[in-house]
Amino acid sequence: MKKTKYPLCYGVCNNRTSLGGSDVRLMISIPLSRFKKTDGCIDRGNALDFTDNDIGKKFRMEMLDPVQSGIVTYLGNIFDAIPEGKFKKSLTPLQVDFDKHHLRWRVFKKNGKNACIIIIAAYKCHVTPV
């Protein structure tokens, strides 16, 4: 079995891109192709309005161009919100930049089918409370 090289990075149109590139809008621990793609696009994500009171809450999320991720739990918007493991370790070189631009990123955890960690630009995901 081929090992996953973390993180998997994607741009606006669900295209793979490299870590640290200016077009990164999504960093995820599994391939985006595992999720269902739907028609349309996300003009302005509503996760920009999240506060610390939203941490731990569950949401149904669409991301990028849009892909249905299903039900996710919001973990926060700083590097420390990323659960410990290989995925977080792969992002360590970006920690200073991540925390400097913390208002841009949202960290989610998906359990069950296609369990993963999702770090997405707040304006590229649309969430609905569950």
Query: Mind listing the pLDDT tens digit for each residue in 42-90?
Result: 667 888 888 899 999 999 999 888 889 999 999 998 888 999 999 999 8
Query: Taking the domains of the chain in order of start, what are their residue ranges?
Result: 8-129
Share of the chain above pLDDT 70, in %: 92
What average pLDDT score do residues 11-29 get? Answer: 83
| pTM for the predicted model, two decimal places | 0.89
Torsion angle of the four alpha carbons 128, 108, 26, 70, in this order, in degrees rounded to the nearest 10 = -50
Q: What is the pLDDT of residue 97?
A: 76
Residue 23 has pLDDT above 50, yes or no: yes
The full length of the chain comes to 130
pLDDT at 1: 45
Residue 110's Cβ-count burial label (10 Å; 0-12, 13-18, 19+) is buried
Residue 17 Cα distances to 11, 12, 22, 68, 74, angstroms? 6, 10, 9, 20, 24
The Cα 117–Cα 96 span in angstroms is: 19
Residue 30 confidence class, pLDDT cut points 50, 70, 90:
very high
Q: CB-hemisphere CA count at 13 Å for 28? A: 26
